Copies of this chain bind each other. A is one copy, B any other.
Amino acid sequence: MQATRIKELLNSDKTGFEVKINGWVRTKRVSKGFSFFEINDGSCLSNIQVVAEEDVPGYREIIEIGTGSSISVKGDLIDSPGKGQKYEIKAKEIVIYGKADPETYPLQKKRHSFEFLRDIAHLRARTNTFGAVFRLRNALSYAIHSFFQERGFVYIHTPIITGNDCEGAGQMFRVTTIDENAKEQVLTEADDFFGKRTALTVSGQLEGELLATALGNVYTFGPTFRAENSNTSRHLSEFWMVEPEMAFARLEDDIKLAEDFLKYIFKYCLDKCMEDMEFFDLRIKKGVIANLEDIVKSDFITVTYTEAVKILENSGEKFEFPVHWGVDLQSEHERYLTENEFKKPVILIDYPKEIKAFYMKNNDDNKTVRAMDVLVPGIGEIIGGSEREDNLDVLMQRMSELGLNPEDYWWYLDIRKFGSVPHAGFGLGFERTVQFVSGMQNIRDVIPFPRTPKSADF
């Protein structure tokens, strides 16, 4: 008999038929003559209750199994007479696949701290919280793909191993086959596997631009890396990024795309993950559902950096970091704007060029660039993007100001030499988005096996 997943059974519109399920025992209660098992198979947050009476074959052995054991249950799906669940299974046959010793199985009934669960990340997906997080992560991933596919964007895979010091953004991990402990004399970079120094990418954007100026609209969704020694609840050494890039597009198109995109993926979570979302709202962070609902129905507002600085200066707020024109905004400033001033998502544009990357398109004032940061209530910046400099001379000038060598970017400059077009794109940190939607405090708890300084387990 084919097994059915528990999610499907709990959504059934009828009862009174024979079913088979597979899953892991979450809890067990043994009474005189019968016992209850709560079974979870990972398909959804809810367990299904199994009632076994003592005439079930092998009953004596069955009631000895502990939390974490895996079993298969055949029986009838019936309306549950008990409280707390709609349906239950009246067992006719229970097969034990694998036991879990109650003395050593680390996931006992009691509540465990997230710190403890990080040390057993190979098992933590068996808890309510992490099951919900990873199902949400899956839903968000597919929402991202669906959004872009419906709009004709081409999913591209940009290189993970790179010979470029891209944006010059942050420290990079070196990739090598040279062994520093080798007895032989030290080899040069030209002897290395790729014939030069290579590192793990910090962004697929530059390559994304190459493909956008051929295919039109493209997006990446892949891993990126930062070798920063930051031990915070917001930093990972390895994380996933989404980077769309559009040809024949200006900052205004980028703003529109970002707003449509966020509304789409948040609405997808509300539509497809409500059971898990309710769990987050109840157990992780009050208000995460309302926050998403508000964003989905609000009109984002676009404000220039210069206007935003004026608002902050005149706010009368005492900020930890004083604000004036030219400084990079801090989380406290971003949150003031979204949570106190506008009470909805804010898109800040036209930042001072000194605090933004070399590839952003110059404004005519020669002081600001066509950058945008999308700020949302409760977290601050969630998206950073820009129109790209498509004028070869202006770009060369900017690179020279910053001491970048044009020869290292010959292919990037070629795009401005041959049929250059206005183009724009943005980047979304995927884990921060999962954090935002779920309300999970620590970024290490929204990726299955986090990589952070001094930690690369599993």
Contacts and interface: CB of A to CB of B under 8 A. Distances in A.
A171 to B, nearest CB: 7
A408 to B, nearest CB: 11
Contacts of A42: 154, 214-216, 247
Interface stretch (A82-90, A160-168, A366-374): A160-168
A69 B158 contact: no
Nearest to A411: B122
Interface of A: 3, 5, 7, 22, 24-25, 41-43, 68-70, 72, 97-101, 104-105, 122-123, 125-126, 130-131, 134-135, 137-138, 141-142, 145, 149, 152, 154-164, 171, 173-181, 186-187, 193-196, 198, 200, 207, 210-211, 214-216, 222-223, 225, 227, 229, 237-238, 240, 247-248, 390, 411-412, 414-422, 447-449, 451, 453-458
B414 A160 contact: no
A156 B138 contact: yes
A155 B180 CA distance: 37
Nearest to A71: B419
Given A145-B142, A416-B98, A125 B211 contact: yes
Count of this chain's copies in the oligomeric assembly: 2
17 contacts: A97-B422, A105-B418, A122-B415, A123-B210, A125-B210, A125-B215, A131-B214, A135-B154, A157-B448, A159-B456, A160-B223, A161-B238, A161-B451, A175-B200, A194-B453, A194-B456, A222-B222
Contact of A448 (B156, B171, B229): B156
A98 B155 contact: no
Given A42-B247, A104-B418, A207-B448, 14 more contacts: A5-B216, A70-B420, A97-B421, A97-B422, A123-B414, A125-B215, A137-B157, A141-B145, A142-B149, A157-B223, A164-B458, A180-B180, A180-B186, A211-B448
A5 B247 CA distance: 11
A457 B135 contact: no
Contacts of A157: 137, 223, 240, 447-448
A152 to B, nearest CB: 6
A222 to B, nearest CB: 7
B163 A456 contact: yes
Contact of A161 (B137, B149, B214, B237): B237
A142 B416 CA distance: 31
A60 to B, nearest CB: 20
Given A97-B419, A421-B70, A210 B154 contact: no
Give the interface centre of A126, A178, A216, A227 by most chain B CB atoms within 10 Å.
A216
A174 B182 CA distance: 14
Given A123-B414, A186-B181, A420-B98, A159 B238 contact: yes
A122 B210 contact: yes
Contacts of A100: 417-419
A135 B153 CA distance: 9
B173 A161 contact: yes
Contacts of A207: 448-449, 458
A68 B417 CA distance: 10
Contact of A43 (B159, B216, B457): B216
A177 B171 contact: yes
Nearest to A449: B159
A208 to B, nearest CB: 10
A155 B177 contact: no
Pairs A-B, 6 closest by C-beta atoms: A98-B420, A125-B214, A42-B215, A22-B248, A122-B411, A194-B456
Nearest to A153: B138
Contact of A141 (B155, B175, B422): B155
A72 B105 CA distance: 66
A412 B457 CA distance: 12
Given A173-B161, A454-B195, A421 B180 contact: no
Give the interface centre of A154, A171, A181, A229 by most chain B CB atoms within 10 Å.
A154
